Structure 1
Amino acid sequence: MALPKQEIVLVDFHNTTVPVWRVVNDTVMGGISESTMTNGEQGGVVFSGTVSLKNFGGFCSVHLHNTAVHDLSLYDGISLRVKGDGKQYKLILKTDSELNGFSYQFPFVTKKDAWITVHAPFQEFIPRFRGAVLSDAPPLNP
């Protein structure tokens, strides 16, 4: 089956407000990393912070609880337009609303001070639970 040529926008960062996003840092497990998400001066949003490995921490994240349901079965992946700092990030998707359920992760590296488009093919998302790869989990089925 041919993939659709039409794109759909899942999240329009130029027409979003920060309150729909939730910052989650390693402080939930005793870490001391800090991050924020703010509205950008020219639209969009800015995620920034400092990751600390002290106290067995080491992560900063933002979560969007997206209640909209999208049938993505005719698409091959998700594209992001990002301006970064040259570090690695992960796009993490969940297929259910369970807080402690496993997730599907796609790592990508940004370019310092440059806009790039990252394409995350669904088949390359890795199922994980608390950092461990789940070899018996089903592949991502959007």
Structure 2
Amino acid sequence: MKDSNLILFDFNTKSNISNWRVVDDVVMGGRSNGNFRLNKNGHAEFYGDVSLENSGGFSSVRYRFESIQTLNSKEIVIRLKGDGKKYQFRVKDKSNNNYSYISTFTTSGNWENITIQLSEMYPTFRGRKLNMDNFSAESIEQIAFLIGNKKQQHFKLEIDKIFFSK
């Protein structure tokens, strides 16, 4: 990692994760159950079960913060270890927007760096792509991870670090 990179979150055993919020399909009547915690190694763990009951099918964890400038950044890099499943990484330029800009990635089961080009993140609302331009804002106020692969499944995503890169 270069010194010029802006760290968004670097998890460790003393990290304050109180501003991270799990939002599951229960907000729409579903039965999925996501959790978020720090493990003994100081990594964040987003884990649980996705259920398709009652038209459910997703779990997410969101982190809202004061606006961070993205003008000098071209990509977001996430150091993580997944379970071989597909996830979405989501950003919002304004936390009160109904839509998010998303990028989908598949994990390998090993520690890896996932690199997401900000300019390739496209806008969606409730799973539908919107007829708007890709991300080009000068700042972001929220990030999120979401799993919703249209199947019932257990999931676990460990996150070490999230940072902007030039």
- For normalisation by structure 2, the TM-score amounts to 0.76
Where does 1:19-98 land on structure 2 (aligned, <5 Å)?
A: 19-67=18-66, 69-98=67-96
User: Structure 2: which 5+ runs fail to align?
Assistant: 139-166
Which residue matches 1:109? 106
Identity among equivalent pairs (%): 35
CA contact (8 A) 1:127 1:133 kept: yes
- Which whole-Å deviations, capped at 9, do the CAs of 1:55-102 have from their partners, x for residues lacking one? 1110011011112x222111111000011100011110001121x521
- Aligned partner of 1:132: which letter? R
CA contact (8 A) 1:17 1:39 kept: no
Distance in 1, Cα, partners of 2:20 & 2:69 = 22
Larger helix percent: 1
Larger strand percent: 2
Distance in 2, Cα, partners of 1:117 & 1:42 = 18
CA contact (8 A) 1:13 1:44 kept: yes
CA contact (8 A) 1:80 1:118 kept: yes
CA contact (8 A) 2:124 2:130 kept: yes
2:125 to 105, 116, 129: 129
The structure, 1 or 2, with the larger RCO (C-alpha pairs under 8 Å, 6+ apart) is 2
1:139 Cα deviation from its structure 2 partner: 2.4
